[in-house]
Amino acid sequence: MLPDIQLETARLILRPPRLEDFDAWAIATADPVSMKFLGGPQARSTAWRGFTTMAGSWAMLGFGMFSLIEKASGRWIGRAGPWMPEGWPGTEVGWSISRDAEGKGLAFEAAVASMDYAFDVLGWSDVIHCINDENQRSAALALRLGSQRLRRAKLPPPYQEDEVQVWGQTRDAWRQRRPALTA
């Protein structure tokens, strides 16, 4: 059973994934532009395994990426939140927004709420963001969050060929510089 957790921002509801989110998840993960830096587009059956992995993270660890629900429309627009699968290079807060929801500051809004959750609720002492070298939008978001490039790291299988930039910051740094949420 998934925890009954819900965070709210001005424009978003963040909650664990629900079965009703899967169709939108599958559409987003099939998009070659949205998935360019996340392993490429996925067939629906592959998307299902990723979706249930996220639900499994919530069930087994008590955290995972949140489904992002746009308050104005009630639609699923992406995922963001704490993530730390086996072999990962650290305690990550990551994000992925549907292409039609990009450029509106929603990933920033979700990332700030997720960082607060990771530090204040999960008690993490630091957070990283694993970012592909070419993903300038995510690097800009990490910088806007106050994170800095820390190192390079290899991801675990099946992504062992992928080397990423590891951005991040400590809980103390976050508390000193936490950015204000403005729409």
Strands 7-8 and 126-131: unpaired
pLDDT of res. 37: 59
Mean pLDDT in residue range 35-51: 73
More confident residue, 168 or 177: 168
Distance separating alpha carbons of residues 58 and 122, to the nearest angstrom? 12
Name the pLDDT band for 35 (thresholds 50, 70, 90).
low
Burial class (CB in 10 A: 0-12, 13-18, 19+), 1: exposed
The dihedrals phi and psi of 147, each to the nearest 5 degrees, come to -80, 160
- Look up residue 67 and give its amino acid: S
Residue whose token pair is 């999960």: 122
- Hey, which residues does 14 pair with through a beta bridge? 7, 68
pLDDT tens, position by position, 78-134: 999 999 999 999 999 999 998 888 889 999 999 999 999 999 999 999 999 999 998
Q: What is the mean pLDDT of the chain?
A: 89
As a residue count, the chain comes to 183
Q: Region of 160 please: left (phi>0), alpha (psi -120 to 50) or beta.
A: alpha
Average pLDDT over residues 51-73: 94
Going from the N-terminus, what domains does the chain have, and what CATH number goes with each? 7-124 (3.40.630.30)
Instruction: Indicate whether 181 pLDDT > 70.
Output: no
Residue 149 has pLDDT above 90, yes or no: yes
Query: Which regions of 41-157 does DSSP assign to beta strands (E)?
Result: 66-70, 76-83, 92-97, 126-131, 148-154
